Amino acid sequence: MQPEFIIFLFLALATVAGAGAVALSRNIFWSAMGLLSALVGVGGLYVLLSADFIAVTQVLVYIGGVLVLIIFAVMLTNQIKDINVSNSSIGLVGGCAVFLVVATLLSFIAIWAPWKLTDRAPVVDTTVAIGNGLLGVWLLPFEIASVVLLATLIGAIVIARKEVKAD
């Protein structure tokens, strides 16, 4: 076995186990920890796909930003004593049926579809290539993304602030 395949197996285990914890754990904080494991695993898989810039972005944005936000929200909205109360799951049997159908169908398609594989070597210096692309071919989506981020910033502040009565 190649070493990279063994690394892939470890990362896949961390990813799938973490995702399973997110979906099945009764404790919302353990769900957040499962999300951490899943995000780290996906970041490692990006490295195996020779997408190093995306892997670093995943760590910075997801683990450093989104996950911290989620844990903040968990701490702000759950009392420690009733951390399980609003977390009961409904329809677990139906949910598992949905999971089996979706995962089996997608895996079947992934394995049996005749993908037209390329023989181009992966880009080695992805940061330079992505930087040039963002200011060249993909300039318009890049600018739109920055406007969306600004709108999100203002929107999140407006939604989450305490309302001040005028009188």
Partner 1 sequence: MAHLTLNHFLVIGALLFGFGVLAVVTRRNAIAVLMGIELILNAANLNLVAFGRYVAGGISGQVFGLFVIVLAAAEAAVGLAIILTIYQMLRNIDASDATTLKQ
For 30-33, the CB contacts below 8 A with 24+ separation are 32/67, 32/70, 32/71, 32/74
CB closer to partner 1 out of 54 and 167: 54
Q: For the segment 111-150, give every residue that binds partner 1 (CB under 8 A).
A: 111, 115-118, 120, 122-123, 126, 129-130, 133-134, 138, 141, 145, 148-149
Residue 20 binds partner 1, judged by CB under 8 A: yes
- Whole-angstrom distance, CA of residue 62 vs CA of residue 110: 26
CB closer to partner 1 out of 137 and 167: 137
122: helix, strand or coil: coil
Task: Provide the mask over 22-41, with x wherever binding to partner 1 is found by CB under 8 A and - wherever it is not.
Answer: xxx---x--xx--x--xx--
Q: Judge residue 43's burial from the number of C-beta atoms within 10 Å of its C-beta, 0-12 exposed, 13-18 middle, 19 or more buried.
A: buried
Least Cβ distance, residue 50 to partner 1 (angstroms): 6
- Whole-angstrom distance, CA of residue 56 vs CA of residue 5: 21
# residues contacting partner 1 (CB under 8 A): 85
Residue 15 binds partner 1, judged by CB under 8 A: yes
Q: For the segment 60-79, give every residue that binds partner 1 (CB under 8 A).
A: 61-62, 65-66, 69-70, 72-74, 76-77
- Whole-angstrom distance, CA of residue 3 vs CA of residue 91: 41
Among 80, 81, 94, 167, binds partner 1 (CB under 8 A): 94
CB closer to partner 1 out of 65 and 167: 65
Residue 80 binds partner 1, judged by CB under 8 A: no
Residue 107 binds partner 1, judged by CB under 8 A: yes
- Whole-angstrom distance, CA of residue 3 vs CA of residue 96: 34
User: How far, CA to CA in Å, does 30 sit from each of 42, 59, 145?
Assistant: 18, 19, 32
Q: Kind and range of the H or E element at 119?
A: none
